Amino acid sequence: MSDYNFAYLDEQTKRMIRRAILKALAIPGYQVPFASREMPMPYGWGTGGVQVSAACLTPGDTFKVIDQGADDTTNAISIRKFFEKTAGIATTEETAQASLIQTRHRIPEAALSEDQILVYQVPIPEPLRFLEPSEVETRKMHSLEEYGLMHVKLYEDISQHGAIATAYAYPVKVEGRYVMDPSPIPKFDNPKLSMAAIQLFGAGREQRIYALPPHTRVVSLDFEDHPFEPSKADHDCDLCGASDSYLDEVIVDDAGGRMFVCSDTDYCRSRRAANHVGAQGAPYEDARA
Amino acid sequence: MQTDTLSGAFAAPPVDAAHAFRAVMRVMARPGTIEAVTGATPPAPLSVAAGTVLLTLCDPETPVYLAGDADCAAVRDWITFHTGAPLVGRSEAMFAIGRWEALLPRDDYARGTPEYPDRSATLIVEMERLEASGARLIGPGIADEAALSLPEVAAFQANARAFPLGLDFLFTCGDRLAALPRSTRVEAV
């Protein structure tokens, strides 16, 4: 028995968040304002995602949290423990076992199913914010579908660097209407934004919720002569040998030694458990056994 | 005030509301799918699904409009006691509930502004029958196409044309629930 209301938030707050989620699903890519609450963690640690998760969780859910793909980082562990304590729900590190996944800056490598929900932690929900600081102006730009400034920014990338240099938080257009910030996921993940699961985005400090229903058409902005290209380190994972996963570069000594490993720790673990071994990997032993 | 005004709410509000919201979210995210919701037993003529949606989403911050035979003393008292939602006219309502003919005309409800299209009404339409057949649905949340027994087609086509402005619809029949957001394009078959 917990001394908290189920999933921490009071019921009136949850109703307010739930109404915002429904409007967000009805207008894919549009940022719905909501009355974000103070949470027992600092802004920037996923307060938006936590509030969306709290409004969506049911007692039968299995909850997974990843931070840059990893289940075992401070932020992921503390949010998982927060809901273990306040909602009494089951948690997991296995993507396929989870019914609700809260993520910071990655989409899991394994394809998500119809029955899963993916909740993103979002720092800056407004894709036009660094181009136009005024909320009044960006609202007007969205209402008029005036996105020329975003194309100018991408064009300036090309004129300076010869290619679109934006590597994360790469802007997308949703169902041919709203330009949306997919949160700071690497652009490698952008093609996965059209998926079978429900995707919800929560920005706590900025007080915005937006959403992508399943199978929504999501197109990364680009030019005919400079098409969008998802990119990753040109390497295989050194632990599991995967050639198709997004990689983190890890410095391993003071002599410039480095290795590339999967950013999705569950994907890497499951591959190693299936006896895939990378260039620097050792045969897998289940540490939990 | 009668005793049945006081009864019929969720037995375990946080848990019942969480399960009910999951169903509402799933149907709104996947137009055309039908889910069962339970928990509330509202007075007639409200359906179990409509009562459950009201308890899940409505509170003193959400003005509600009751249309046609839904606008009776038993329903007014029940909603007021259990949700505290103010009962208002069409133009001020965030939620409206009733049969399709009683809810019309569509133009009376808030459909949002270009800067804030979310400031629009959600209509809870009580149906005689609710089946995954009839008008063809295409749009976000639908892999290829879906079908739903809509009360008519033209009104929903006009609603979708105004995107991103427009109304969102929940359809209720007994304990069954379906949805049609403004993003869905509707074709007669």
pTM for the full predicted model: 0.96
Interface of B with A in 52-111 (CB under 8 A): 56-59, 61-62, 94
Residue A244 CA to residue A259 CA, distance in Å, equals 16
What residues of B are in contact with residue A175 (Cβ under 8 Å)?
139-140, 183
Can you say how many angstroms the Cα of residue A232 is from the centroid of all Cα atoms in its chain?
Answer: 17
Residue A90 CA to residue B3 CA, distance in Å, equals 39
Does the beta-carbon distance from B14 to A11 stay under 8 Å?
yes
Does the beta-carbon distance from B116 to A139 stay under 8 Å?
yes
Does the beta-carbon distance from B118 to A12 stay under 8 Å?
no
Q: What is the CATH number of the domain that holds B89?
A: 3.40.50.11310
Beta-carbon-side half-sphere exposure of residue A263 (alpha carbons within 13 Å) = 23
How many angstroms separate the CA of residue B100 from the nearest CA in chain A? Answer: 20
Looking at the predicted complex, does its ipTM rise above 0.95? yes
Class of residue A18 by CB neighbours under 10 A (exposed 0-12, middle 13-18, buried 19+):
buried
Compare all CA atoms of chain B with the CA of A100 and give the residue at the minimum distance. Answer: B22
For residue B128, give the 3-state DSSP assignment. Answer: coil
Q: What is the pLDDT of residue A288?
A: 55
pLDDT along chain B (189 residues), means of 10: 81 96 98 96 95 97 97 96 97 97 95 97 97 96 96 96 97 97 95
A19-61 per-position pLDDT tens digit: 999 999 999 999 999 999 999 999 889 999 999 999 999 999 9
Does the beta-carbon distance from A27 to B14 stay under 8 Å?
no
Of A24, A59, A216, the CB nearest to B15: A59
Q: What is the pLDDT of residue A287?
A: 59
What stretches of B25-167 adopt beta strand conformation (E)?
Answer: 35-36, 64-66, 95-99, 122-126, 135-138, 146-148
The verdict on A17 touching B (C-beta cutoff 8 Å) is no
Domain that holds residue B118: 3-187
Interface of B with A in 143-162 (CB under 8 A): 143
A182-231 per-position pLDDT tens digit: 999 999 999 999 999 999 999 999 999 999 999 999 999 999 999 999 98
Q: What is the pLDDT of residue B3?
A: 63
Compare all CA atoms of chain A with the CA of B122 and give the residue at the minimum distance. Answer: A23
What residues of B are in contact with residue A56 (Cβ under 8 Å)?
18, 21-22, 25
Q: Which amino acid is at B85?
A: A
Q: What is the pLDDT of residue A82?
A: 96
The fraction of chain A above a pLDDT of 90, given in percent, is 92
The fraction of chain A above a pLDDT of 70, given in percent, is 98
For residue B120, give the 3-state DSSP assignment. Answer: strand
Q: What is the pLDDT of residue A173?
A: 97
User: Cβ of A38: how many Cβ atoms within 10 Å?
Assistant: 9
- Using an 8 Å Cβ cutoff, are A233 and A249 in contact? yes
What residues of A are in contact with residue B118 (Cβ under 8 Å)?
20, 23-24, 27, 30, 32-33
What residues of B are in contact with residue A32 (Cβ under 8 Å)?
118
Low-confidence winner among A126-130, A138-142, A231-235, B23-27 (lowest mean pLDDT)? A231-235
Give the residue among A208, A175, A202, A213 at the shortest CA–CA distance from A31. Answer: A208
What residues of A are in contact with residue B139 (Cβ under 8 Å)?
175
Would you place residue A152 in the very low, low, confident or very high pLDDT band (cuts 50, 70, 90)? Answer: very high
Could you give the number of structural domains in chain B? 1
What the block records as the tokens of B26 is 């799933």
Q: What is the pLDDT of residue A283?
A: 81
Does the beta-carbon distance from B118 to A23 stay under 8 Å?
yes
Does the beta-carbon distance from A58 to B168 stay under 8 Å?
no
* Cβ density class A102-136: b for 16+ within 10 Å, e for less: bbbbbbbbeebeeebbbbbbbbebbbbeeeeeeee
Does the beta-carbon distance from B118 to A24 stay under 8 Å?
yes
Does the beta-carbon distance from B30 to A11 stay under 8 Å?
no
